[in-house]
């Protein structure tokens, strides 16, 4: 069989592979390998660094697009929902106040590749935390429930002020990294 016919047969084969599936699988495999090599805590730490860097870049994109030096609480909430929509999530605002933003999610951008991989949720925590903190001064992100844990939906609380409620919640704290705090 000549190379051209082989290429045609390969192209016509029913292989469930597309760019999105490839990237989700790649990230899942990286998280698995990191977890196996350095442990789940360290893997979460590495993923956190990536999420933090991505959060800062995404934050700058929203600030430029909206032509503002910092995002308001309402703009932060809208940006969190929008960015997840753009990457295949289905986040929505459950509650919003000066003290916190609570979001729900019906679809993970990582789809089924996130099941059993709570370390991958550190991407959400760090992106949300860095955007909120860099605009509002402080954030604590509590992953109340996640699809990664086998739940049907995610629920994420982003605390915007240090308070008894925020202190009682599990999660990671984030502080403004900009030269000038909001």
Q: Look over the chain and give the mean of its residue pLDDT values, rounded to a whole number.
A: 89
Question: Does the residue 182 lie in any domain?
Answer: no
Question: Does the residue 3 lie in any domain?
Answer: no
| Band of pLDDT at residue 180, cut at 50, 70 and 90 | very low
pLDDT digits (tens, 9 = 90+) for 52-107: 889 999 999 999 999 999 999 999 999 999 999 999 999 999 999 999 999 999 99
Higher-pLDDT residue of 36 and 154 is: 154
pLDDT digits (tens, 9 = 90+) for 106-126: 999 888 888 888 888 888 999
Question: Does the residue 39 lie in any domain?
Answer: yes
Indicate whether 129 pLDDT > 50.
yes
Question: Does the residue 74 lie in any domain?
Answer: yes
Spacing of C-alpha 21 from chain mean position: 17
Question: Does the residue 141 lie in any domain?
Answer: yes
| Band of pLDDT at residue 181, cut at 50, 70 and 90 | very low
Backbone angles phi, psi at 115, to 5 degrees: -55, 125
Give residue 159's domain range. 17-175
On the 0-12 / 13-18 / 19+ scale of CB atoms within 10 A, 1 is: exposed
Question: Does the residue 10 lie in any domain?
Answer: no
Query: Which position has the token pair 């000549």?
Result: 2
Question: Does the residue 31 lie in any domain?
Answer: yes
Full-model pTM: 0.84
Residue 1 has a pLDDT of 64
Kindly report the CATH number assigned to the domain that includes residue 49: 3.30.1380.20
Spacing of C-alpha 25 from chain mean position: 16
Question: Does the residue 7 lie in any domain?
Answer: no
User: Coil, strand, or helix at residue 16?
Assistant: coil
What is the tally of structural domains in the chain? 1
């Amino acid at each position: 069989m000549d190379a051209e016919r082989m290429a045609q047969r390969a192209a016509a084969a029913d292989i469930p592979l597309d760019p999105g599936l490839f990237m989700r699988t790649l990230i899942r495999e990286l998280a698995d390998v990191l977890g196996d090599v350095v442990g789940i805590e360290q893997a979460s730490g590495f993923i956190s660094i990536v999420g933090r860097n991505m959060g800062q870049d995404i934050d700058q994109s929203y600030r430029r697009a909206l032509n503002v030096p910092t995002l308001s609480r309402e703009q932060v909430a809208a940006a969190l929902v929008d960015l997840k929509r753009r990457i295949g999530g289905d986040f929505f605002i459950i509650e919003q106040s000066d003290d916190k933003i609570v979001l729900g999610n019906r679809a993970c951008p990582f789809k089924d590749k996130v099941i059993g991989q709570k370390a991958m949720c550190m991407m959400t925590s760090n992106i949300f935390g860095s955007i909120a903190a860099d605009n509002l001064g402080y954030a604590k992100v509590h992953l109340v429930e996640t699809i990664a844990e086998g739940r049907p939906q995610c629920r994420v609380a982003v605390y915007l002020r240090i308070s008894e409620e925020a202190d009682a919640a599990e999660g990671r704290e984030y502080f403004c990294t900009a030269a000038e705090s909001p």
